[in-house]
Amino acid sequence: MARRFTIADIAAAAGVSKGAVSYALNGRPGVSDATRARILAIAAEMGFVRNRAARSLSVASAQAVGIALRRSARTLGIEPYFMELISGIEATLSAASFGLTLQIVDSLDAELEVYRRWWAERRVDGILLCDIGVDDPRLDRVADLGLPAVAVGGPVQGARLPAVWHDDAEPCRDVLEYLHALGHRRIARVAGLPHLLHTAIRDRAYAETAAGLGFASVTTVHCDYTGEESARVTRRLLTAPGRPTAIVFDNDVMAVAGLGVAHELGIAVPGGLSIVAWDDSPLCRLTHPALTSLTRDITAYGAQCAQALLAVIGAEPERHAAVRCRPAELSPRGSTGPPRT
């Protein structure tokens, strides 16, 4: 437990003022090259690291970013999405020597309260807003706070916050065209929460494309991303008359559950039922057959979100008002094939 040194210690050792040490450490003009080198050497030798609180207090910046997640422990655990996203965010932040503060909340009010507090106490310099909804009230509320923020999802037209998002419509079209080409005509979709923006975008893209391709039927059932609900819904879809020959699921967890139901009912996959998952986590390769899915690099997406937020905060040179990322791409695997007639 070595003693913690301060710039005063370095100043004393180098025979200069604290101000000079600060300039040297921060690579700013105000000290000669020789003095700077000497100061840096002494600091390195002492194993000096700036006290965060003192620095934050001086520069009025927390050097940290916050994320509040409004999901239950179980949902957070089971959905690979979040950890992959956070992992990408974190990598970018730590490269900029920014910290990541995480909080889990259970209501919209609690979430907004967290933002208010974080900003008031300057615990964070900005936040990443996840799970963007249709007409999301948080966009305005956060903008009102003056808290720098980036929406993880979009597009959010007219919002006062920049957004980073994937185009969700194009992959929907890809999937339907693919299933159509395989010969499927009766399709169902087990969708995510209807109030989420990307669900709404997919709803519309599927509806439009389906109409264009002339499918006999495209049934959409919304549920909550859990395996339980997906299983219940899938069971109903598969036992009703005129059952679909293919089901598209809005995430990987629901797709795995759907596959389980097919097994349970003795329906062969893909012969009796084709399955497509959204979000290509390793989960999709755990099953037999492996699941055809819409692949996107969520870790890279997280990194872009963090980058955009740093830009808004002003910690990065360039600034992007909104970033549109590469759409998900279809990865065909064993769970899709021509329907057995």
Partner DNA sequence: CTGAAAGCGCTTACAG
Residues of this chain that interact with a second copy (CB under 8 A) are 1-2, 4, 47-54, 56-57, 62, 64, 72-74, 76-78, 80-84, 86-88, 90-91, 94, 99-104, 116-117, 120-123, 144-146, 226-228, 231, 253, 256-257, 260-261, 263-264, 281-283, 285-289, 298-299
| Nearest residue to 202 via CA among 153, 240, 243 | 153
DSSP one-letter string for 196-229: BHHHHHHHHHHHHHHHHHT-SEEEEEE--S-HHH
- The answer for residues whose C-beta is within 8 angstroms of residue 181's C-beta and 6 or more apart is none
| Per-position x/- string for 34-73, each x denoting binding to DNA as judged by CB under 7 A, each - no binding | xx------------x-xx--xx-xxxx-------------
The pair phi, psi for residue 140, each rounded to 5°, is -75, -45
Pairing mode of beta strands 292-295, 329-331: antiparallel
Between CA 323 and CA 188 the distance in angstroms is 31
Q: Which of 20, 68, 247, 253 binds DNA (CB under 7 A)?
A: 20
The pair phi, psi for residue 234, each rounded to 5°, is -65, -40
Distances in Å between the alpha carbon of 154 and those of 115, 116, 275, 290?
A: 20, 23, 26, 30
The SS3 of residue 63 is coil
- 164-202 burial, b at 16+ Cβ within 10 Å, e below that, comes to bbbbbbebbbbbbebbbebebbebbbbbbeeebbbbbbb
From DNA, a second copy, none, which one binds at residue 84 (CB under 5 to 8 Å depending on kind)?
a second copy
Q: Does 15 bind DNA (CB under 7 A)?
A: yes
Token pair of 54 as six digits = 């003192």
The nearer residue to a second copy, 155 or 272, going by C-beta atoms, is: 272
Q: How far is the CB of 216 from a second copy (least distance, A)?
A: 28
Q: How far is the CB of 44 from DNA (least distance, A)?
A: 14
Q: Does 25 bind DNA (CB under 7 A)?
A: yes
Q: Which of 3, 33, 44, 74 binds DNA (CB under 7 A)?
A: 33
The SS3 of residue 187 is strand
The nearer residue to a second copy, 55 or 243, going by C-beta atoms, is: 55
From a second copy, DNA, none, which one binds at residue 17 (CB under 5 to 8 Å depending on kind)?
DNA
Q: Which one-letter DSSP state was computed for residue 152?
A: E
The nearer residue to DNA, 7 or 127, going by C-beta atoms, is: 7
The nearer residue to DNA, 87 or 97, going by C-beta atoms, is: 97
The stretch near DNA (CB under 7 A) out of 23-31, 87-95, 272-280, 294-302 is 23-31
From DNA, a second copy, none, which one binds at residue 322 (CB under 5 to 8 Å depending on kind)?
none
- State the residues that interact with DNA by CB under 7 A: 4-8, 15-23, 25-26, 28-35, 48, 50-51, 54-55, 57-60
